[in-house]
Structure 1
Amino acid sequence: TESEISERLDYIKKGFPSEDEFYKTLETQGITIANLKDRYRDQIMMKKLVDYEVKSRISVLPSEVSDYYERHKDQLREEDKYKVKNILIKAKDEVSFELAKVEIDNVYAKLKEGANFDDLAMQYSKGPNAEKGGDMGYIEKGQMLEALDDAIFKLKPGEFSEPVKSEIGYHIFKVEDIKYGRQPDIEEAQKDIQMMLFQNKFKLKVGEWLSGLKGKAYISIK
């Protein structure tokens, strides 16, 4: 236990510029090394007690894993990932939005005439990575505002959207590539499911265990 306490102290000390700063901080907070060691000792002993009394008595059956997999297949499926580029004309008030609308319509007209998206992004866009053609990398549904998602995730590779308004201006998106999500089989998902079910059981059991102890005696939790 003493070695575990020393390891914790060493780890905490590494978060300070120097050992002197560490001790000064303790002094400012009115904490002594002895106090800190006692606190860590209590935490370590409590963890070991919980491991023995609760964790060691929890198991997850293969049938529980397979049942969860069958009931949550849709949630386990990987999301489609779209490689997206963006042209953004920024705006912040009524006048600038009107000007931005004129500019984005001009860009959109050029795209429909066959202009290169990357070239237009470098020339007009004020968005991220404009110098790289507005490349946003791969994104999943839900990462953007709903209105932007609606514009992006109906496109096929090579297609670009109509101008879309957001709170920061007007956008035109282009989809370069799509990586379609796949359904992991039970062998691939087994470890994650098992861990999740174990944690759920642990939270429930440790709550019951602590409630039982509190019913028998007063516990001071630090």
Structure 2
Amino acid sequence: MLTTKRWCSILLIVLTLWAGAAWGETLDRIVAVVNGDVILYSELQEKVRQVEKISPESKPADATLQPQFERQVLNQIIQERLTEQEVRRMKIAVSDREVDAAVDSLKRENNFTDAQFEYVVQQGGQTIEQFRSGIKKELERSRLLERVLKSKTVITDEQVDAYLKNAKTDEGNTKERLRLSIIFLPTSEGAQGKDADDVEKLAREIHRRLKGGGDFAKLAKEYSKGPAPEEGGDIGYIAAEELAPDIASAVRGLNANDVSEVVKAPAGYYIVKVVDVQREKLDSGDSSARDKARRALFQREMSRKFEEWIKELEARSFIQVSL
């Protein structure tokens, strides 16, 4: 027979396991079911962190609006899940070679060196692997829509001309390109407290040394974890509109050889030196400008078609939300 003490021990174990299971369920529960596919709260939180990292301005300043923001992100996950299901159902495949070609095309359109490309991706809060994954999904979505709609999206020369004409009106007749050198100090994912403080202190110490006449290239080689550290952080010329808002704001108005203040970004801290400034007239006949305009118009049209298609798909799918 079990003694009273033994019964109490068993009861304590059972209660402990039940409490642990209940606590785990609270932390990670089902927030949506999409045609039988489950979306967990942990997946939602990871996506929220990604969105906030790539677009810090999207995070609600008012904490009471956070549930609404989470619901918007959940809707995005649901649409991604529906798209993935259709890609699998229709057996659409995109190879690594095709992703390579798309990335190379993007570099050519923007005249990016490898260091410039790494910098642009990094300042957007992504790794190269995450960026490539996004390109792959973009290609899959394009092929999916072409197959579903049974038509290709064609951008005419007239549309490109109109786009470039509007760009001239909006930006003036000149384009500014900056030759930049970068010192980047990353913070680890979710870093806070002492770890984040230590990185910020180092960034401000480096900045103090630069203001005191320190050699930017030497300090970049010693400390930078960003692109081209062996070249002193020099990433070459980059168009002003390709800069992240925080970086663009930090270098606005700076002259050649000026150094920015310390810039806090989602992935870490930047110090930027303006090596040179070039201003050139916009030329609507320039092939790279036209390629870039054509891609922008293509993306705009694909987004419009996708919004129409995904609403129809949602209407005929089984979606249960419990957030």
> How does the TM-score come out when normalised to structure 2?
0.36
CA contact (8 A) 2:175 2:282 kept: no
Answering whether residue 215 of structure 2 is matched by residue 116 of structure 1, we say: yes
Number of matched pairs = 137
Residue of 150, 159, 162 corresponding to 2:261: 162
CA contact (8 A) 1:141 1:153 kept: no
* Alpha-carbon spacing, 1:101–1:179, altered in 2? closer, same or farther (3 Å): same
In structure 2, the partner of 1:174 is 273
In structure 2, the partner of 1:128 is 227
CA contact (8 A) 2:184 2:226 kept: yes
- 1:97-142 CA-partner distances (Å, limit 9, x unpaired): 2111110111011111101100010111111111110112111123
* Alpha-carbon spacing, 1:113–1:141, altered in 2? closer, same or farther (3 Å): same
* Alpha-carbon spacing, 1:74–1:170, altered in 2? closer, same or farther (3 Å): same
- 1:13-55 CA-partner distances (Å, limit 9, x unpaired): xx9xxxxxxxxxxxxxxxxxxxxxxxxxxxxxxxxxxxxxxxx
In structure 1, the partner of 2:75 is none
Partner amino acid for 1:133?
G
CA contact (8 A) 2:183 2:220 kept: yes
**Counterpart secondary structure, 1:180:** strand
* The structure with more radius of gyration: 1
Residue of 197, 200, 203 corresponding to 1:101: 200
* Alpha-carbon spacing, 1:99–1:140, altered in 2? closer, same or farther (3 Å): same
* Pairing 1:129-208 to 2, within 5 Å after superposition: 129-184=228-283
Distance 1:67 1:124 in 2: 46
Tell me the CA shift for residue 158 of structure 1: 0.6
Tell me the CA shift for residue 75 of structure 1: 4.8
Residue of 154, 178, 185 corresponding to 1:89: 185
Partner amino acid for 1:104?
A
* Pairing 1:61-80 to 2, within 5 Å after superposition: 73-75=168-170, 77-80=173-176
Over the matched positions of the two proteins, sequence identity in percent amounts to: 26
**Counterpart secondary structure, 1:121:** helix
Unaligned runs of 5+ in 2: 1-96, 98-157, 295-323
Partner amino acid for 2:224?
S
In structure 2, the partner of 1:41 is none
> How does the TM-score come out when normalised to structure 1?
0.50
Distance 1:134 1:179 in 2: 19
CA contact (8 A) 2:258 2:273 kept: yes
In structure 1, the partner of 2:301 is none
Distance 1:160 1:120 in 2: 13
In structure 2, the partner of 1:50 is none
Tell me the CA shift for residue 155 of structure 1: 1.3
Distance 2:167 2:186 in 1: 41
Tell me the CA shift for residue 182 of structure 1: 1.3
CA RMSD of aligned residues (A): 3.9
Tell me the CA shift for residue 143 of structure 1: 1.8
Distance 1:97 1:180 in 2: 38
* Alpha-carbon spacing, 1:168–1:182, altered in 2? closer, same or farther (3 Å): same
Unaligned runs of 5+ in 1: 1-14, 16-59, 61-65, 197-222
Distance 1:149 1:129 in 2: 20
